[in-house]
Amino acid sequence: MFGRQTDEAFNQQMEISLIKKQLKSDRRVQTEVYNDCCRRVYASCLRILNDPHEAEDFMQEAFIQAFERIDSFRGDSQLASWICRIAINKCLDHLKKRKVPFDMDAQVDNGERIYDQNGDGNYDVDRIKRAMKDLPEGCRVVFSLHLFEEMDHKSISKQLGIKEASSRAQYARAKNKIIELVKETYV
Amino acid sequence: MSELENFINENRDSFDKEPMPLGHENRFLMKIEKQKIENENRVRFWRVAAAIIVLLIAGGSLLLPRFNSPADVQYGSMALSDVSSDMANIEFYYTSQLEEKYAGLQELSETNMEVKSLFDELTFLNDEYENLERELYRSGTSDRVILAMIENFRLRLKIVEKLEKIKQEQLSQSL
């Protein structure tokens, strides 16, 4: 009677409903989901906040809020991505409360060199991570949101209350700074 | 896309491999437990608040007739004096008469069947008067109840006078 696709959609929906029900109160399932997704969510929070204690706090708050409001999870994205989104919003709210300056002039500072987009290719994960930690706060946040969280500049500008051009400028500045810092480590 | 961006996209998973802080899972379990307790307390608080509101509304609806009645009304009952000053005068007349005459009847022996029967009748009428006071409150000063109360006073006074007469007779016989 039902097509294969309809069956699959139905089963998927049933599975989501079951998980939602369990996530509301079943501590074992909550712990399982936490352990499965915490690394990804923690990494996102840490990239934005640059502080392990705050990152842990906001990551855990995001999980607790997600479990409490699991009914609003529609299942059109992965659960980890949904929780990550909650965590990122919490981190950004925190930075806004701290009045972190996200805005900057759309022009790249005169004193800054614009590095060749095709660098020498001496990248590795740890060097880039270290370089990101040394970025100015606004730069780091925009860079993380655009490249790691795949937010476009329009969404970033809305979320941070800055101009789209400012978001692009921060991103460019962050990229150049990282290339510069990574190169420095080779000298 | 620059080389840097390509490198990050190709190694995305490695960027998410941050060492987790020691004891993070325990801290999470403690936080979630604390949150659960706070949520339960919040639910309990609102339940109690709701119960108090219901009680206040119920209490208010019970007390409202009392506030609409004349002042100094006993809760659930009402005296004649609460109705008007005329009724207060009537009540004062009968109660003072009854008290005065009743005080002189204490020495009457209840071994006399007639005396006992009259005292029983007085007790019955006293109880009946209390019922009438409650009915007066419920009825909202109905004329029928007011008349019954005055009639009750009149009957009690009549009985007390009868008892006085018996006392006089007993006294003259003993002399």
pLDDT tens digits, residue range A40-56? 999 999 999 999 999 99
Query: Where residue A5 falls among pLDDT bands split at 50, 70, 90?
Result: low
First-to-last C-alpha distance (Å) of chain A: 69
CA distances from A20 to A73, A75, B43, B119 (A): 8, 10, 21, 79
Query: Do A52 and B21 lie within an 8 Å CB cutoff?
Result: yes
- Give the burial class of B108: count Cβ atoms within 10 A of its Cβ; 0-12 exposed, 13-18 middle, 19 or more buried: middle
Give the domain range for residue B44.
12-67
Residue A107 has pLDDT above 50, yes or no: no
Say if A121 is an interface residue toward chain B (CB within 8 Å). yes
Average pLDDT, chain A: 83
Q: Which residue of A has its CA nearest to B28?
A: A60
Is the same domain home to B159 and B75?
yes
Residues B84 and B100 in one domain: yes
Q: Is B143 within a domain?
A: yes
Q: Determine whether the interchain pair A147/B5 forms a contact, defined as Cβ–Cβ distance below 8 Å.
A: yes
B56: in domain: yes
Residues B59 and B93 in one domain: no
**Residue A122 structure tokens:** 């001496």
Return the sign of the alpha-carbon dihedral for residues A49, A50, A56, A59: positive
Whether B7 is covered by a domain: the verdict is no
Tell me, yes or no, whether B3 lies in a domain: no
As to burial, measured by CB atoms within 10 angstroms (0-12 exposed, 13-18 middle, 19+ buried), residue B20 is: middle
| B75 lies in the same domain as B16 | no
- CB distance from B24 to chain A under 8 Å? yes
Nearest-Cα residue of chain B relative to residue A126: B15
Q: Looking at A105-109, B36-40, B89-93, which range is the least confident one?
A: A105-109
* Pair B83, B166 in one domain: yes
Structure tokens at B108: 């009457």
Q: Is pLDDT of A110 > 50?
A: no
Rounded to an integer, the average pLDDT of B138-167 is 89
Q: Average model confidence (pLDDT) for chain B?
A: 85
Same domain, B16 and B94: no
In a domain, residue B127? The reply is yes
| Chain A positions in Cβ-Cβ contact with residue B28 (cut-off 8 Å) | 34, 38, 60, 63
Domain end (from B67, B86, B114): B67
Is the pTM here over 0.90, yes or no? no
Half-sphere exposure of B51 (CA within 13 A, CB side): 6
The answer to whether A105 and A59 have CB atoms below 8 angstroms apart is: no
Task: Confirm whether B6 is domain-assigned.
Answer: no
Whether the Cβ atoms of residue B160 and residue B98 lie closer than 8 Å to each other: yes
Nearest Cβ partner of B32 from A64, A129, A178?
A64
Domain identity same for B95 and B59: no
Whether residues B63 and B120 share a domain: the answer is no
* Local confidence band at B125 (pLDDT 50, 70, 90 cut-offs): very high
- For residues B115 and B48, membership in a common domain is answered with no
**Is the same domain home to B98 and B142?**
yes
Kindly tell me the sign of the dihedral angle through the C-alpha atoms of B5, B7, B10, B11.
negative
The alpha carbon of residue B136 is apart from the nearest alpha carbon of chain A, in Å, by 57
